[in-house]
């Protein structure tokens, strides 16, 4: 292998019983055994590195994984199926996967199933992307027996050492990984990731790479390549759309043209239901026509994945300092405010205050606010 390329492998982390291997002679146990030690070592190094304190003897504060392969604001759990539909560079192949060699059921050990594997990207903030791998079982798949995950390798120019990659079905986490020969009970979607470890090379999935699926067939023809060209935002219509609104937008937003004016905004989950709904809540600290402080408040439900949210808005008046009205401060309808986020550091609003008797000269308009800072441990990059 050239020193300018890396092939990284995710493998099973436990030994296979001899009986299981004998029962599945068409499966190449040696290929798995050869790569298994590297996966175990890399996972252990990542766990140890994340626990290192920054100095002294105090425990480190875990925030955002600095070695992650995509912006934290790009994905939300759970991942949906068929996100690759109409994707400009999705690569798809049908591959035969083996049953579970660790099963005590001979029928399961000898089970074979042809599944559809798709590799594709989704656009994220700031010109970045995320790479996903979806494995779909057929519609008539057995509900008794199941296939197991194949080996996953990546080859990318400019990286010089062999290390395992992470591919996880739990987004925005530090350690969650999946290993070859793990059960695939249902169709699933995985994120290609980097380990939390400064000893491992950083794989940049924005650049061109080849992902190889290894089903470990001993008869040969076991490697299936998925070539991915470099990511270009111009290929993705969604790259120019506002970001999906999530908790990564929760922070203080300031008016760059007027010190002393700003918006406190929070996004949080509330209740269940299908589809899952979220709440956007905000307070806008601004001024009336006479220059006196005025605050406007609103909150509303919205569906996960929404890129714009319009919030019915109220304004409060005739209250008292430090609160002495048991019945609450009187309020009136003001209008509405619509929020969108072109990137992680800017918030666009459009407002319509026609329902309000105040601010007669400024009933409608648009404004761009700038992020003041990040909530500890939640970074929108």
Residue 172 in domain:
yes
- Mean local confidence (pLDDT), 194-199: 80
- Mean local confidence (pLDDT), 174-182: 83
**DSSP character string of 59-123:** PPPP-S-TT-SS-TTS--SSPPTTTTTT-TT-EEEEEEEE--TT-S-HHHHT-EEEEEEEEEEEE
State the pTM of this model: 0.76
Residue 377 in domain:
no
Residue 268 in domain:
yes
Q: Give the model's pLDDT for residue 85.
A: 92
Last residue of a domain, one of 201, 232, 263: 232
Tokens of 97: 């996967």
Report the domain count for the chain.
2
27 plus 137 within the same structural domain? yes
Residues of the chain above pLDDT 90, percent: 40
- How confident is residue 135, by pLDDT bands cut at 50, 70 and 90? very high
Residue 379 in domain:
no
Last residue of a domain, one of 232, 256, 282: 232
Of 146, 152, 106, 147, which is closest to residue 133 (Cα–Cα)? 152
Please determine, for residue 60, whether its predicted confidence score (pLDDT) is greater than 70. Answer: no
174 plus 297 within the same structural domain? no
Q: Give the model's pLDDT for residue 55.
A: 54
* Average pLDDT for the chain: 83
Structural domain harbouring 299: 247-371
291 plus 177 within the same structural domain? no
Q: Give the model's pLDDT for residue 220.
A: 79
Residue 191 in domain:
yes
Omega before residue 17 within 30° of 0, cis: no
Q: Give the model's pLDDT for residue 273.
A: 63
CB proximity list for 88: less than 8 A, separation 6 or greater: 235, 236
More confident residue, 151 or 199: 151
Q: Give the model's pLDDT for residue 237.
A: 86
Residue 274 in domain:
yes
- How confident is residue 372, by pLDDT bands cut at 50, 70 and 90? very high
**Cβ(151)–Cβ(32) below 8 Å:** yes
For the ranges 24-28, 100-104, 305-309, the lowest mean pLDDT is seen at 24-28
Residues of the chain above pLDDT 70, percent: 83
Q: 199-218 as b/e, with b when 16 or more CB fall inside 10 Å?
A: ebbebbbbeebbbbbbbbbe
- How confident is residue 275, by pLDDT bands cut at 50, 70 and 90? low
- How confident is residue 147, by pLDDT bands cut at 50, 70 and 90? very high
Dist CA 166 CA 133 (whole Å): 12
Residue 61 in domain:
yes
Rounded to 5°, angle at Cα 129 from 127 and 130:
165
136 plus 191 within the same structural domain? yes
Please determine, for residue 200, whether its predicted confidence score (pLDDT) is greater than 80. Answer: no
Helix (H) or strand (E) holding 361: none
297 plus 179 within the same structural domain? no
- Mean local confidence (pLDDT), 228-242: 90
For the ranges 111-115, 182-186, 329-333, the lowest mean pLDDT is seen at 329-333
81 plus 21 within the same structural domain? yes
Burial (CB count within 10 angstroms: exposed 0-12, middle 13-18, buried 19+), residue 52 = exposed
Please determine, for residue 6, whether its predicted confidence score (pLDDT) is greater than 60. Answer: no
215 plus 115 within the same structural domain? yes
279 plus 223 within the same structural domain? no
168 plus 290 within the same structural domain? no
Which range of 168-177, 255-264, 354-363 scores highest in mean pLDDT? It is: 255-264
Residue 380 in domain:
no
Rounded to 5°, angle at Cα 218 from 166 and 195:
10
Last residue of a domain, one of 199, 232, 265: 232
Q: Sign of dihedral through CA atoms 318, 320, 322, 328?
A: negative
Distance of CA 161 to the CA centre of its chain: 26
Dist CA 92 CA 100 (whole Å): 24
114 plus 221 within the same structural domain? yes
47 plus 82 within the same structural domain? yes
Please determine, for residue 34, whether its predicted confidence score (pLDDT) is greater than 70. Answer: no
- Mean local confidence (pLDDT), 270-288: 83
40-53 pLDDT, tens digit per residue, is: 777 777 777 776 65
191 plus 111 within the same structural domain? yes
């Amino acid at each position: 292998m050239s020193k300018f390329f890396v092939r990284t492998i995710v493998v099973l982390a436990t030994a296979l019983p001899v009986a299981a291997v004998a029962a599945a002679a068409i499966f190449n146990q040696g290929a798995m055994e050869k790569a298994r030690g590297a996966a175990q070592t890399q996972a252990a190094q990542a766990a140890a590195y994340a626990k290192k304190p920054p100095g002294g003897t105090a425990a480190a504060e875990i925030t955002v994984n600095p070695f992650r392969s995509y912006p934290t604001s790009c994905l939300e759990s759970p991942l949906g199926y068929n996100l690759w539909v109409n994707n400009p560079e999705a690569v798809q192949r049908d591959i035969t996967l083996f049953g579970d060699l660790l099963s005590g059921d001979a029928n399961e050990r000898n089970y074979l199933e042809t599944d559809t594997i798709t590799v594709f990207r989704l656009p994220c903030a700031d010109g970045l992307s995320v790479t996903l791998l979806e494995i779909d079982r057929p519609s008539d798949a057995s509900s008794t027996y199941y296939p197991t995950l194949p080996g996953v390798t990546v080859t990318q120019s400019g990286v010089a050492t062999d290390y395992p990659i992470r591919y996880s079905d739990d987004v925005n986490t530090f350690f969650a990984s999946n290993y070859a020969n793990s059960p695939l009970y249902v169709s699933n979607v995985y994120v290609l990731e980097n380990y939390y470890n400064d000893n491992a090379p950083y794989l940049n999935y924005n650049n061109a790479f080849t992902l190889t699926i290894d089903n470990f067939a001993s008869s040969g023809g076991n490697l299936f390549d998925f070539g991915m060209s470099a990511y270009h935002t111009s290929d993705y219509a969604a790259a120019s759309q506002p970001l999906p609104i999530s908790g990564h937008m929760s922070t203080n937003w300031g008016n760059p043209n007027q010190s002393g004016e700003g918006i406190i905004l929070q996004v949080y989950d509330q209740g269940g239901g299908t589809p899952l709904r979220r709440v956007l809540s905000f307070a806008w600290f601004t001024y009336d026509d006479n220059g006196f402080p005025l605050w406007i408040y609103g909150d509303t439900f919205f569906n996960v994945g929404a890129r714009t949210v319009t919030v019915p808005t109220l304004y409060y008046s005739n209250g008292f300092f430090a609160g002495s009205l048991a019945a609450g401060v009187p309020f009136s309808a003001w209008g509405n405010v619509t929020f969108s986020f072109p990137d992680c550091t800017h918030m666009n609003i459009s407002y319509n205050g026609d329902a309000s008797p105040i601010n007669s000269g400024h009933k409608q308009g648009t404004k761009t606010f700038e992020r003041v800072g990040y909530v500890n441990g939640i970074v929108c990059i």
